Amino acid sequence: MQTLLPYSPPTITRHLSGQNSAANRNRHAHGLNSNICERIDGVPVADLAARFGSPLFVFSERTLREKIQRAREAFESRYPNTRFAWSYKTNYLNAICRVFHSEGSIAEVVSEFEYEKARRNGIAGRDIIFNGPHKTRAGLELAASEGAMIQVDNWDELLLLDTIAKEQGRSIDIAIRCWLDAGIQPVWSKFGFGVENGEAWRAIRRIAESRGRLNLQGLHTHIGTYILEPNAYKVAAEKLITLMERCRESYGWALKYLNLGGGFPSLSTLHYSYQPAEQVVPPIEKYAEAIAGALNTLPRDRRPRLYLESGRALVDEAGYLITSIVAVKQTGASGPITLAGKAAKAPAYMPESTGSAYVIDAGINILYSGNWYRFNVKPAKALRESAQHPVKLYGCLCMNIDVIREQVSLPAMTTGDHLVMHPVGAYNFTQSMQFITYRPAVVMIGLDGRVEIIRERENLDYVQRLERVPEHLLCGSRE
């Protein structure tokens, strides 16, 4: 759904900031220092690495708060009855969740593990949106007894809930998750009930047949992730509104909420995208316009509450990974290019056969989203030799597929120099796995510039805590 942007002339200024300044339109001129990342929120990267070790995940509390505040403002100014629910799976480090909760976000969870986590973060059951394709009977019973917002994914779950309601002689509030064609490919039909194929309506009829055991409170959809097309949300909202209105007409139900899920993009760049994120990612306000525009066509007294479960758009840019170069290698078959020497004019494109590479101390096991996204990689200090060369960036795992960037332009650097990856705040930590080495510490830079550990670096005791060695293998071991 690529639409051509209308031409708007650049404003010629001396400054590099501002949407339309000429300098910003020239992707080869991004300002003097944008190729290095010396500080994060004012704290020198070198100090962070010296104090907490490398690699190190760093989160900016300021950016987290700015992101959620701007998102709330964007939506609430257009549609006051909006609430954000923090998508736990995007990043469920408790400190991160609690920043969002302190900004008024409730919790959105997709498993019982996440449900427990949200409860322990002080979130009441009624302020938890319970999603996910696999909810156990125990999980559903708990969520129902605590008044959580259960978003039913499938027929089996719907019938199980009806059984629970019958057995317990009570009624259970639910919403149903819907999948629909909002013009985004692929359509995520794995989750929920199809709108266009009539399944969502059949589920609603089944709910009506429960005669009050199941109460339909809302409709949910989550159309995908990193959606660059705000209009898709308008389409999705309109389809849910139509379904909601049909519930009113057929059963006299006034649904309390529509849940448009998440999927707003962060300023990250897909591998195949030529343009940098800044040029392809619409601002959050465009999404607010699209969704609020659809909802505001309803008469005032029929406007439901809007829930949003935005994940990556709120946390990705708040996260950095500091790494160190541990080896400089020549990977090609033919003549070396001397990175540290005076190879003044590097060719614009370096074929694999003459490549050089840096090995860094972080692997794809902690940068899983690097499968899809091309992280920005910047040296943590200005280098005397600032000319850039294309290099390959290898992770530190004993696997050939452990490549963080196939090619990135970097100045000549040496072992011990730091590189900063950004944005890496979404999904990388929750999807990381312990493999070969310990996962790194995670710190957060507070609003006052204080740096606090929010997750310790792993150690042998942590990794082995759940292991058990059978008695007969213990003899002779050294404690």
Ligand X SMILES: *Cc1c(COP(=O)(O)O)cnc(C)c1O
Contact 82, 308 (CB under 8 A): yes
Tokens representing residue 21 in the block: 């300044």
Beta-bridged to residue 59, according to DSSP, are 319, 444
The residue length of the chain stands at 479
AA letter at 204: I
Q: How far is the CB of 110 from ligand X (least distance, A)?
A: 5
**Residue (23 or 228) nearer to ligand X, CB:** 228
**Residue (55 or 263) nearer to ligand X, CB:** 263
Region from 160-168, 200-208, 238-246, 304-312 binding ligand X, contact rule CB under 6 A: 304-312
Region from 40-48, 232-240, 307-315, 359-367 binding ligand X, contact rule CB under 6 A: 307-315
**Residue (291 or 412) nearer to ligand X, CB:** 291
Q: Go through 63-97 and write b for each residue having 16 or more CB atoms within 10 A of its CB, e for each that does not.
A: bbbebbeebbebbbebbeebbbbbbbbbbbbebbb
Q: Which of 97, 247, 396, 398 is catalytic?
A: 398
Task: Report the DSSP pairing between strands 441-445 and 451-455.
Answer: antiparallel
**Residue (227 or 410) nearer to ligand X, CB:** 227
Q: How far is the CB of 259 from ligand X (least distance, A)?
A: 8
Q: How far is the CB of 81 from ligand X (least distance, A)?
A: 19
**Residue (15 or 190) nearer to ligand X, CB:** 190
**Residue (264 or 394) nearer to ligand X, CB:** 264
Q: How far is the CB of 136 from ligand X (least distance, A)?
A: 18
Contacts (Cβ under 8 Å, ≥6 apart) of 361: 54, 55, 323, 324, 326, 396
Beta-bridged to residue 451, according to DSSP, are 445
Contact 291, 257 (CB under 8 A): no
Residue 310 in the binding site for ligand X (CB under 6 A): yes
Task: Report the DSSP pairing between strands 106-109 and 128-130.
Answer: parallel
Kindly determine how many residues on this chain lie close enough to bind ligand X according to the rule CB under 6 A.
18
DSSP symbol at 384: S
Binding to ligand X (CB under 6 A): which residues in 79-138? 87, 89-90, 108, 110, 131
Tokens representing residue 100 in the block: 């969002």
Q: How far is the CB of 108 from ligand X (least distance, A)?
A: 6
Gap between the Cα atoms of 5 and 247, Å rounded: 39
Residue 407, φ and ψ in degrees, nearest 5: -155, 130
**Residue (309 or 417) nearer to ligand X, CB:** 309
Helix/strand/coil for 146: coil
Beta-bridged to residue 444, according to DSSP, are 59, 452
**Residue (123 or 441) nearer to ligand X, CB:** 123
Residue 219 in the binding site for ligand X (CB under 6 A): no
Gap between the Cα atoms of 316 and 241, Å rounded: 30
Gap between the Cα atoms of 412 and 410, Å rounded: 7
Map residues 168-207 to x or -, x wherever contact with ligand X holds by CB under 6 A. ----------------------------------------
Region from 198-206, 305-313, 450-458, 470-478 binding ligand X, contact rule CB under 6 A: 305-313
Of residues 262, 355, 411, 423, which one binds ligand X by CB under 6 A?
262
Region from 36-44, 111-119, 311-319, 326-334 binding ligand X, contact rule CB under 6 A: 311-319
Q: How far is the CB of 280 from ligand X (least distance, A)?
A: 16
Gap between the Cα atoms of 207 and 215, Å rounded: 7
Helix/strand/coil for 151: strand
Degrees to nearest 5, angle at CA 108 with 103 and 112: 130
Region from 19-27, 111-119, 168-176, 261-269 binding ligand X, contact rule CB under 6 A: 261-269
Gap between the Cα atoms of 162 and 247, Å rounded: 19
Q: How far is the CB of 266 from ligand X (least distance, A)?
A: 8
**Residue (114 or 417) nearer to ligand X, CB:** 114
Binding to ligand X (CB under 6 A): which residues in 449-468? none
Q: How far is the CB of 58 from ligand X (least distance, A)?
A: 20
Residue 398 a catalytic site member: yes
Q: How many CB atoms lie within 10 A of CB 238?
A: 17
Q: Hey, CA dihedral for 363, 364, 367, 372, is it positive or negative?
A: positive
Residue 261 in the binding site for ligand X (CB under 6 A): yes
Residue 225 in the binding site for ligand X (CB under 6 A): yes
Region from 70-78, 139-147, 256-264, 443-451 binding ligand X, contact rule CB under 6 A: 256-264
Residue 263 in the binding site for ligand X (CB under 6 A): yes
Gap between the Cα atoms of 221 and 323, Å rounded: 38
Of residues 311, 319, 395, 425, which one binds ligand X by CB under 6 A?
311
Tokens representing residue 149 in the block: 């917002």
| Residue numbers annotated as active site | 398
Which residues of the shown chain bind ligand X in the complex (CB under 6 A)? 87, 89-90, 108, 110, 131, 222, 225, 261-264, 309-313, 426
